[in-house]
């Protein structure tokens, strides 16, 4: 009897141990398969300089396994429930959501003579941006150059006949106007192009090959490029980007991560005619100087200071070439000189021309404002009228002097 009782007790103890063991394994599996997601709730907006509008913060939850990168980005969710995977994705989606309705599709019709007795009608297309609720549209001059009929299609596919308000061929800028209801006009928010940096994230929206409101992204590849316009005048301070631009993107907006308009896309460098990763945009600060004049008078009366070329240095603008008998030269501004130098090589002496910058003036300010880039100088000058007087602060022989210059007329 005693032996049977001991066996029964032993079996009971073994059963209890096995039950506890299996119960522990079951809990462990449940914890792996069903991670705890309590706390997944909205608690307010992210405090971040690049936080997209409408994105909110959520309490993070524990993610199982090592492949955390395969799960949505912790801490962000859009009002419609979309959860971005990365902060860059959140910025791109947010900027597009807020700005795409400001982008328009521009269609044009023009005629080209094929022979004495026949004309061929040519259709063209481009992009543009709504800039106010009066119906003004910003685009490139080359998009509407030579056209007899212009049509603007808005985000909701409504089309309106457009009239040309003003054009500046030298800067490849034009302003159109449509008579559309205020409720359909969403103006772009203007930014500032004076503090752009190479490597900065940018977003382009346009109508490549007629595919409306197409977005591409990239970075600023370089700054202060120079591009010739259709009038062969050099457009200064051009932004170079690597975002995909193709036929039909001309006139479309270039945006920063805050959705601000920092430029207008105008051209690409290519051998095939399609995108090769090198695009160019007119900076918004150039557009800001020109557009008010185009809306007011239809044209640009451009003052000139008579300085044809400068070198940008860390300290200011080194004057290289002056317009002969121009305003700056008349005021006594000094540029670089071409000097004849002799070089001896063995028994022979050679002469060659060299540029001497030693006597050149270094422009460090204009009208009390510091100057470090060409755009700083142009911003002040193009806000003036021909005949106005400006004061240049220049370094000459180690000293800063003030030189008054009466602006001329570029025409």
Residue 48 pLDDT level (bands cut at 50, 70, 90): very low
The single residue of 87, 102, 107, 250 carrying the catalytic annotation is 250
For residue 151, tell me if it sits in a domain.
yes
Last-in-domain residue among 57, 85, 113: 85
Residue of 315, 303, 300 lying closest to 373 (CA atoms): 315
Active site residue 30: no
pLDDT of 26 over the 60 cut = no
pLDDT 10s digits, 260-286: 999 999 988 877 776 778 999 999 999
Which domain CATH number covers 309? 2.30.42.10
- Write down the catalytic residue from 168, 170, 172, 375: 172
Q: Which residues of 252-285 are buried (b: 16+ CB within 10 A; e: fewer)?
A: bbbbbbbbbbbbbbbbbeeeeeebeebbbbbbbb
In a domain, 22, yes or no: no
The single residue of 125, 142, 257, 374 carrying the catalytic annotation is 142
Given a contact cutoff of 8 angstroms between Cβ atoms, the answer to whether 121 and 80 are in contact is no
* Structural domain harbouring 54: 42-85
- The question of whether 257 is a catalytic residue gets the answer no
- Please confirm, yes or no, whether 376 is among the known catalytic residues: no
328-363 tens-digit pLDDT: 999 999 988 876 767 777 767 676 666 777 889 999
Whether residue 330 is contained in a domain is answered as yes
Q: Please count the structural domains in the chain.
A: 4
């Amino acid at each position: 009897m005693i032996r049977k009782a001991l066996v029964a007790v032993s079996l009971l103890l073994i059963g209890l141990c096995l039950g506890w063991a299996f119960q522990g394994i079951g809990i462990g599996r449940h914890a792996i398969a069903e991670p705890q997601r309590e706390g997944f709730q909205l608690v307010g907006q992210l405090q971040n300089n690049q936080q997209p509008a409408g994105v909110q913060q959520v309490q993070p939850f524990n993610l199982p396994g090592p492949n955390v990168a395969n799960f949505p980005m912790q801490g962000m969710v859009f009002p419609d429930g979309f959860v971005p995977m990365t902060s860059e994705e959140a910025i791109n989606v947010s900027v597009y959501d807020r700005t795409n309705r400001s982008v328009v599709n521009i269609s044009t019709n023009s005629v080209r003579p094929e022979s004495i007795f026949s004309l061929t009608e040519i259709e063209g297309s481009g992009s543009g941006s709504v800039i106010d609720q009066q119906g003004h549209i910003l685009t490139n001059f080359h998009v509407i150059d030579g056209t007899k009929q212009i049509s603007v299609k808005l985000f909701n596919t409504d089309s309106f006949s457009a009239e040309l308000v003003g054009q500046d061929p030298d800067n490849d800028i034009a302003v159109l106007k449509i008579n559309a209801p205020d409720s359909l006009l969403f103006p772009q928010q203007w930014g500032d192009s004076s503090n752009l940096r190479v490597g900065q994230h940018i977003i382009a929206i346009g109508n490549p090959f007629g595919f409306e409101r197409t977005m591409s992204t990239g970075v600023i590849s370089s700054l202060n490029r120079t591009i010739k316009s259709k009038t062969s005048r050099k457009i200064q301070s051009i932004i170079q980007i690597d975002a995909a631009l193709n036929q039909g993107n001309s006139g479309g907006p270039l945006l920063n991560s805050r959705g601000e308009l920092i430029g207008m896309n105008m051209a690409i460098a290519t051998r095939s005619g399609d995108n090769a990763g090198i695009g160019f945009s007119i900076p918004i600060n150039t557009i800001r100087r020109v557009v008010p004049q185009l809306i007011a008078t239809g044209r640009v009366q451009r003052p000139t200071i008579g300085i044809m070329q400068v070198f940008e240095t860390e300290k200011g603008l080194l004057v290289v070439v002056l317009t002969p008998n121009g305003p700056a030269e008349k005021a006594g501004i000094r540029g670089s000189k071409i000097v004849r130098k002799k070089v001896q090589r063995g028994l022979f002496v050679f002469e060659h021309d060299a540029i001497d910058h030693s006597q050149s003036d270094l422009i460090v300010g204009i009208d009390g404002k510091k100057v470090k880039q060409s755009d700083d100088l142009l911003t002040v000058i193009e806000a003036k009228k021909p005949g106005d007087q400006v004061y240049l602060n220049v370094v000459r022989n180690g000293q800063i002097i003030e030189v008054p210059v009466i602006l001329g007329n570029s025409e």
